[in-house]
Amino acid sequence: MRAHAIAPPIQVVARVLFALLGLGATPVPSAVPVPNVAPTQADEAAPRGLALLPFTARGAPPECWDRLRPSLELALTGRGLAPVDPARVDRELRARRLRDLNLLTREEIRALAQALEVRRILIGSLYRCADGGEAMSLSARVVDTERLALETVTFVVVEGREFLGALGAGGAMSSERTTVEAARRLAVSLFPRDDKERAEAEKWDPLKRSVLAPTPALFLSPRVPDRRPASVVVLPFRNRSSHPAAGQIAAELMACAIAAALPVDLYDSGDATRRLLERGWRTGLPVGREDVRSLARDPGVAAVLMGDVDRWEEAPPGSGRIPEVAAAFRLLDTETGEILWAADHERRGDETRSFYEAGNVRLAEALMARAALEALAPLVNLFEPAPIPSHGGLDP
């Protein structure tokens, strides 16, 4: 299990906010649960080989990955990891006809890892590409190909204004510098080497550097304390907004929020999505109760989280507009098909200010990630805090 320590000011303020709202402890526990299994001797001796798969463009242009990949490979190599040669990765993906890398099944992941001779696979999505050095945002997750669970999940945002001079002089970063910085932050967040780097990653994390506004649940089943799911899969969200990729983006950001808030094992959605598709379900349609219960046959799927994105309004630089998002979420038990928890949340960029940067939230994806975390608040008290492992993010 890999974990990031919480910066003390964030933890204290979050606890105060939650206490005032009657919701209990902070929504961001002291560790990122990924997955909740104690390290073994085999884990400590795990090889440093890593397969870096092409990131999926969700809002960012496809060529954005071509810019990020060299910087990310260099950042990972600088941390003692050994990314597989990209030409070899691309050949394996073509040979296996693997296209949607965010919907790989466990069997596909296992077979790909064996072919590439790695223990870890890094998968991600690009939401915004550093055009003009303005901003870059992405999410990524590391899959442990032996446990077939997510080892680490993270969300990274780099905004050019973070690098203005003390008096606002100096302008934003160039696209190249923004890309290099995004790659560095991603590598540090996924594979911190010590407590200092964990604290540095906390400072960047869009989920942990803002004032939180926890949202009461619309519904919380009285059965939840006795049926707390040990594992969760986040399905693609239904998209009712004007942004063509909002459903996929919101689902991936909810996975990041779950990893930051709940001590549960988190699994990729490939197997669950494929099973639903085989039963006639289509992305964007409601999932029936029997369809949900069919997922109980998949190992590791105790609950599924689904959602609807109702609004996703961007705020282009210089437009004078304010980003807005609105979504509904629900957690269902796969054994019974019952709803365990439901919430909806909407946020405006001018309602959320950051501790570590001046001004309001300007990116819709950062706003959605925080909305997801705030919506999860009522569930936090129902779970035991995740333990803080004593080892670092990198195997020795």
Q: Between 195-204 and 175-190, two packed helices, what is the crossing angle to 10 degrees?
A: 130
Q: What is the pLDDT of residues 127-159, one digit of tens each?
A: 998 766 578 999 999 999 988 889 999 999 988
Q: What is the pLDDT of residues 207-231, one digit of tens each?
A: 765 556 677 778 888 877 677 788 8
Contact 217, 343 (CB under 8 A): yes
Q: What is the mean pLDDT of residues 186-206?
A: 90
CA separation for the pair 196, 245 (Å, rounded): 35
Q: What is the pLDDT of residues 301-337, one digit of tens each?
A: 889 999 999 999 998 777 778 899 999 999 999 999 9
Please, which residues have CB within 8 angstroms of residue 320's CB and are 6 or more apart in sequence? Answer: none
Q: How far apart are CA 242 and CA 47, in angstroms?
A: 44
Q: Using DSSP, how many helices (H) and how many strands (E) does the chain show? A: 12, 13
Name the band, by pLDDT with cuts 50, 70 and 90, for residue 118. very high
Residue indicated by tokens 């990765």: 89
The helix/strand/coil state of 67 is helix
Instruction: Give the predicted TM-score (pTM) of the model.
Output: 0.81
What is the set of domains in the chain, with CATH numbers? 8-380 (3.40.50.10610)
Per-residue pLDDT tens over the stretch 52-95: 999 999 989 989 999 999 999 999 999 999 999 999 999 999 99
Instruction: Check: CB of residue 337 under 8 Å from CB of residue 296.
Output: no
Q: Using alpha carbons only, give the angle 31, 204, 118 rounded to the nearest 5 degrees.
A: 65
Residue 282: its pLDDT value, please? 75
Other beta carbons within 10 angstroms of residue 290's beta carbon come to 9
| Sequence-ordered alpha helix ranges (H) in the chain | 8-20, 41-44, 63-77, 86-95, 106-116, 175-190, 195-204, 246-261, 270-278, 289-294, 364-375, 377-380
Given a contact cutoff of 8 angstroms between Cβ atoms, the answer to whether 376 and 354 are in contact is no
Question: Does the pLDDT at position 358 exceed 80?
Answer: no
Q: Which one has a higher pLDDT value, 160 or 216?
A: 216
Provide the pLDDT for residue 163. 55
Three-class secondary structure of residue 50 per DSSP? strand
Q: At which residue do the structure tokens 């959320």 appear?
A: 352
Q: Give the least confident one: 170-179, 215-224, 303-312, 339-348.
A: 170-179
Please, which pLDDT band fits residue 235 given cuts at 50, 70 and 90? very high
Percent of the chain whose predicted confidence (pLDDT) is above 90 = 42
Helix (H) or strand (E) holding 312: strand 303-313
Residue 189, pLDDT score: 94
Assign 177 a pLDDT band (cuts: 50, 70, 90). confident
Identify the pLDDT of residue 4: 38
User: Taking all residues of the chain, what is their mean pLDDT, rounded to a whole number?
Assistant: 79
CA dist., res. 354 & res. 279, Å (int)? 44
Q: Which two three-digit tokens encode residue 293?
A: 């219960």
